[in-house]
Amino acid sequence: MNIMQKIISWIPQLLAGARVTISLTLVSVLAGLFLGIILALGSMSKKKVIRALSKAYVFFFRGTPLLMQLYFVYYGLPEINETLTINNKFFAAFIAFALNSGAYCSEIFRSAIQSIDKGQMEAGKVLGLSYIQTMRLIIIPQSIRRLIPPVGNEFIMMLKDASLVSIIALADITKVTRSIQSSTASSLVYIPAMILYLIITAVFTLLFHCLEKKNTYE
C-alpha cells in the first residue's frame, strides 16, 4: 500500500473525529457566549458582591490551564462526591470548555459594551428604560458588530484547544490520529490530520470574515 492509499484509507476515521471536534467547539462557544454575557453584566454591576464574584470567576478560569480544568471536571469531581461523576466524555469536555469559554467571552462582551458611548445609556434613562432594558434594546445590539472579530478568534482558539480532549479518550481528530499512528506504526497520519485542521480553521475563519463584512456594511 503506497502513501496515497494509506492517507485515503484514514480519511473516514479522521472525518468522524472532525465531527466530534466541530460539535464540541460549537456547543462550548455557544454556551460560553451565554455565560459570558451574564458574567460581563455581573462584572459591571453596581453591587459589590456580584461584581466581585464575576471577576473572581473570570480570574480563575483565565488564570488556570484549560487542560487542568478538563482533568478536574472528569477526574477530580468524582473524588469530591460520586454524584458529580460525569461518565459521558463529550459532556465532561463540554462542561470544562464552556466554563472556560465563558470567562473569555465575558471579557469580550465587557470590552464591547464599555466601548459604546456613555450617552447611549443616558438616552435609555431619558426614555424611561431600566438598566436591563437599556442593555438589551440599545447597548448590546450596538456592540454586536464589535463582538464578531474577537468571538471569531475565540472560536478558532477553542477549535484547536479541542485537541486536549484526547487525554480523556474522546475520539476527536487528535485522538483518532494517535490511535491510527499506534495501530499502523506510521506517523504519516499526522499529515492529513493537520491538513484537516487547516481546512476546518480556514472554513470558519472565512465564515466569520463574511459575517463581519456583512455587519460592517449594513
> What residue type is assigned to position 44 of the chain?
M
CATH assignment of 3-217? Answer: 1.10.3720.10
Residue 90 has pLDDT above 90, yes or no: yes
Global pTM reads 0.88
Residue 105 has pLDDT above 90, yes or no: yes
What average pLDDT does this structure show over 136-162?
Answer: 85
Who contacts 156 (Cβ-Cβ below 8 Å, separation ≥6)?
201, 204, 205
Who contacts 110 (Cβ-Cβ below 8 Å, separation ≥6)?
40, 43, 44
Q: Where are the domains of the chain?
A: 3-217
Predicted local distance difference test score (pLDDT) of residue 216: 60
| Residue at grid coordinates 464589535 | 146
Alpha-carbon gap, residue 215 to 197, rounded angstroms: 27
| Residue at grid coordinates 454524584 | 83
Predicted local distance difference test score (pLDDT) of residue 54: 95
Predicted local distance difference test score (pLDDT) of residue 185: 83
